[in-house]
Structures are given as structure tokens and as C-alpha cells.
Amino acid sequence: MASAKEILAEGLLSGKPMLTGAIFEICDEKHVLLLRFPFSDAAKMPGTRP
């Protein structure tokens, strides 16, 4: 979540469009999908500053 928040914040500060449609996908060494984390979730969740 922290990395997604950082990427979103960098985009906002530089005036670039929001990447809320982007997704982090975490896979194991066999390329089996373990987790999908949409940037839109990071934008909605409170937390520390990136």
C-alpha cells in the first residue's frame, strides 16, 4: 500500500493523471498470482504519508 500511495502522490505533485486504475500483482516464483492490490484501494485507505 505504501508504494502505491507513493506513486499516486508523485503523480499528483507533478500534475500527471491519477493511476487509480493501476494494480500491483504479487506472484510467487512459479508466477502464481498471490495478491492483487488496486491503486484505487490505496487512494481510499487512510495511512501514513508516503
Instruction: Please check whether residue 18 is in contact with residue 5, taking contact to mean a CB–CB distance below 8 angstroms.
Output: no
- Cell triple for 35: 495478491
pLDDT per position as a tens digit, 27-36: 999 999 999 9
Residue 43 pLDDT > 80 = no
Rounded mean pLDDT, 12-31:
86
Residue 37 pLDDT > 80 = yes
- Regarding pTM above 0.75, the answer is no
Q: Quick one: pLDDT at residue 46? A: 72
DSSP per residue, 1-12: -HHHHHHHHHHH
Rounded mean pLDDT, 10-31:
86
Query: Please, where are the H alpha helices in the chain?
Result: 2-14, 39-44
